[in-house]
């Protein structure tokens, strides 16, 4: 997949500029790496503005990055929302494939799940609402003639800025479809997703739709509710999904919630939030709520949490 260069000329960044801003991809500027990529932080001068950036350098030895690279650039260059990551530019020189984003200072959402004092109940609800707005925008934004199925929703794909505002990232495997087809399901040849968040129906049928994203979102909600990651090093309770579903059905969901976090919750926001998360994990995909039904319910839960915040509780 490639795109006409004239459509993206304003986003092109010379390789020499990226080498300079990352100090030639120095180890001290490395902030994340895996088999697919390395990410470096730095500062880049763009159109007279000095921007804190993250440079995502794709692994040159892999042969499957071409499509991911251009998919990410194509989508993010056409999407503008306060709860999505912002693309600053890209580089496609000398076999290098690099995408540059605005740097989100607080890093990944999953790093804060187990901290109920810094990552309070109200803050978790605020972030949930922000992610929901991002999903609503990519799924159903009316002015656009296309819709997007994200396919990689997970707490480590949500970045947080200095104000704790969430930014949904990782669109390299996203599926762009006609807006008129947004209620359809689509067959995929290659299974894609993050372990612990993947829609079971997708695994069984190899078909994906917007409600596959809703399952993944439900898992993020349960992580925020319980104060733990979807998969942990615990032989008995490794996967959160079956644990959360069982405890919810038995009306014992409070038993798997961090007790310091539980003390911050009022009954109304807790009940609404848990109900939404559970509905998103419905084993029958067609029964899961769509995101536009979820947004106002999460906003009501947030309103209740703010109004009923425990006395003398200080937000860090």
Q: What is the pTM of this model?
A: 0.94
d(CA 263, CA 249) in angstroms, rounded, equals 22
pLDDT at 51 over 80: yes
Q: For 204-260, what is each residue's pLDDT tens digit?
A: 999 999 999 999 999 999 999 999 999 998 877 899 999 999 999 999 999 999 999
Among 76, 102, 128, residue at a domain's last position: 102
pLDDT of 143 reads 82
Helix (H, G, I), strand (E, B) or coil at 291: helix
CB atoms within 10 A of CB 187: 8
Give percent of the chain with pLDDT exceeding 90: 83
In terms of phi and psi (left: phi > 0; alpha: psi -120 to 50; beta: otherwise), the region of 25 is left
Among 59, 86, 102, residue at a domain's last position: 102
In total, how many domains does the chain have?
2
154 and 39 in one domain? no
Q: Which residues contact 139 (CB under 8 A, 6 or more apart)?
A: 147, 148, 149, 182, 210, 213, 290, 291, 292
Helix (H, G, I), strand (E, B) or coil at 259: helix
251 and 227 in one domain? yes
208 and 126 in one domain? yes
pLDDT at 314 over 90: no
CATH classification at residue 209? 1.10.510.10
Q: For 82-135, what is each residue's pLDDT tens digit?
A: 999 999 999 999 999 999 999 999 999 999 999 999 999 999 999 999 999 999
Separation of CA 141 from chain center:
18
Q: For 53-78, what is each residue's pLDDT tens digit?
A: 999 999 988 888 899 999 999 999 99
161 and 53 in one domain? no
195 and 61 in one domain? no
């Amino acid at each position: 997949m490639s795109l006409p260069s004239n459509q993206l000329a304003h986003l092109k960044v010379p390789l020499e500029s990226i080498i300079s801003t990352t100090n030639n991809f120095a180890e001290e500027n490395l902030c994340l790496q895996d088999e697919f990529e390395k990410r470096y932080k730095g500062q880049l001068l763009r159109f007279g503005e000095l921007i804190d950036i993250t440079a995502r350098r794709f692994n040159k030895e892999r042969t499957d990055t071409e499509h991911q690279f251009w998919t990410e650039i194509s989508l993010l260059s056409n999407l503008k929302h306060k709860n999505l990551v912002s693309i600053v530019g890209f580089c496609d020189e000398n076999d290098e494939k690099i995408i540059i984003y605005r740097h989100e200072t607080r890093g990944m959402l999953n790093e804060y799940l187990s901290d109920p004092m810094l990552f309070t109940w109200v803050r978790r609800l605020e972030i949930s609402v922000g992610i929901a707005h991002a999903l609503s925008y990519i799924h159903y934004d009316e002015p656009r003639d296309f819709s997007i199925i994200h396919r990689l929703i997970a707490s480590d794909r949500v970045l947080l800025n200095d104000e704790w505002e969430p930014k949904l990232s990782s669109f390299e495997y996203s599926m762009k479809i006609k807006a008129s087809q947004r209620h359809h399901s689509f067959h995929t040849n290659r299974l894609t997703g993050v372990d612990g968040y993947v829609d079971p129906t997708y695994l069984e049928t190899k078909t994906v739709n917007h409600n596959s994203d809703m399952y993944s979102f439900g898992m993020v909600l349960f992580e925020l509710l319980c104060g733990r990651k979807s998969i942990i090093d615990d032989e008995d309770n490794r996967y959160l999904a079956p644990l959360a579903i069982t405890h919810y059905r038995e009306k014992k969901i409070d038993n798997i919630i961090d007790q310091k976090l539980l003390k911050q919750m009022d009954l109304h926001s807790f009940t609404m939030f848990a109900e939404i998360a559970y509905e998103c994990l419905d084993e029958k995909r067609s029964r899961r709520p769509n995101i536009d039904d979820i947004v106002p319910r999460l906003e009501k839960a947030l309103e209740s949490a703010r109004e009923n915040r425990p006395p003398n509780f200080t937000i860090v």
